[in-house]
Structure 1
Amino acid sequence: MNYHFRTAELSEIDSIWEILQQAIQRRKKDGSTQWQDGYPNPEVIQKDIEKGEGFVLADGETIIGYSAVLINDEPAYATIEGNWLTNDDFVVMHRVAISEKYLGKGLAKLMLKNIEDFALSNNIFSVKADTNFDNPAMMKIFETLGYIYCGEVFFRGSPRKAYEKVLHKQD
């Protein structure tokens, strides 16, 4: 397998949107309210990419995963019912999705590890994320990778479970 993680290009919006639509349908099938309100959408992805914040996981030339990766840019995280582990610079991930054809191969974990490497390469030692209360698969991935549950944050009026992982300098 030739997996690599890189910034997305505008020409890849259709492939990325297809992966996100699959994830939106999976969330719906699982009975989740997450991503069932017209968000995310192609305009959101286009903005991610234009700002240099859209990232893809690719298998050779094939896009198999997507995530927005932002530095210090999540106003909703300023207010948490609970406490973050750190108050320093942080990387935040949103819109994490893996292609249906590649599910069950540990690729969401691989993408999170790549996001952690991205943080470290920018001398940032905290990764923050959130997920819906009805997304046990994502919560399990966070817990497996050592993310700590910190409390609740609110997005578009809904509470979300907030997690943080403190990274350590590479030797």
Structure 2
Amino acid sequence: MNNKNEINFRKANTTDIPVIWEIIQQAIERRRKDGSQQWQNGYPNLQTVESDVSKDFGYVITIDDEVAVFAALIFNDEPAYSTIEGAWLTTGEFLVIHRIAVSEKFAGQGLVKKLFDYIEDFVRSQNVASIKVDTNFDNIAMLKILESKGYSYCGEVFLAGGVRKAFEKVLM
């Protein structure tokens, strides 16, 4: 990426769904090739993406108006997080990040780290104290990103049919 590219973080809309679904499928395949068990059981699927967008949970990073990254951002609602083997850092309002996926075209360009920066700014603007996120034990790329962005390991949650490593970052 050069500096001429226009990068935007925005809410996803229904016209984005086909490209978001393509990006999710690329991410599923990338997880498989990396030897990860994450996303190898039919989740997330097209209905998940459609639901994310219709409920205003879907957000994208675009580069020159092309969708490059997708994530679902959900305030205060993750039933699986009510039971953790370990302990969350906070008990107040929080944002959950789910279903992060990067287009193959833009992979390896540091966009997920940029996504976390955008999300953290967005969450602060909503006066919400923390961000919670989980990932598979074998999603090495995401584990490295979470560590580099200052997320604290809090324990394990049971989600989408499996145990996930749970992390939290306190913003305020």
Structure 2 equivalent of residue 143 of structure 1 = 147
User: In 1, distance between residues paired with 2:161 and 2:50?
Assistant: 24
DSSP 3-state at the match of 1:85: coil
The percentage of counterpart residues that share the same residue type is: 54
Q: TM-score, normalised by structure 1?
A: 0.96
Structure 2 equivalent of residue 38 of structure 1 = 42
Structure 2 equivalent of residue 50 of structure 1 = 54
User: In 2, distance between residues paired with 1:117 and 1:45?
Assistant: 24
**2:57 is the counterpart of 1:67:** no
Structure 2 equivalent of residue 28 of structure 1 = 32
Give the Å deviation of 1:87.
0.4
DSSP 3-state at the match of 1:32: coil
Structure 1 equivalent of residue 123 of structure 2 = 119
Residue type matched to 1:44 in 2?
A: T
List runs of 5+ in structure 1 lacking aligned partners. Answer: none
Structure 2 equivalent of residue 101 of structure 1 = 105
RMSD value, Cα: 0.8
Q: Which runs of 4+ in 1 moved over 4 A?
A: none
User: In 1, distance between residues paired with 2:89 and 2:119?
Assistant: 18
Residue type matched to 2:14 in 1?
A: L
Structure 1 equivalent of residue 91 of structure 2 = 87
User: In 2, distance between residues paired with 1:143 and 1:94?
Assistant: 17
Give the Å deviation of 1:60.
1.8
Give the Å deviation of 1:74.
0.4
Residue type matched to 2:156 in 1?
A: E
List runs of 5+ in structure 2 lacking aligned partners. Answer: none
Structure 2 equivalent of residue 77 of structure 1 = 81
After superposition, the C-alpha distances for 1:35-94 in whole angstroms (9 at most, x for unaligned) are: 011110111111111111100110021000000000001000000000000001000000
Q: TM-score, normalised by structure 2?
A: 0.96
User: In 1, distance between residues paired with 2:143 and 2:89?
Assistant: 17
Give the Å deviation of 1:11.
1.2
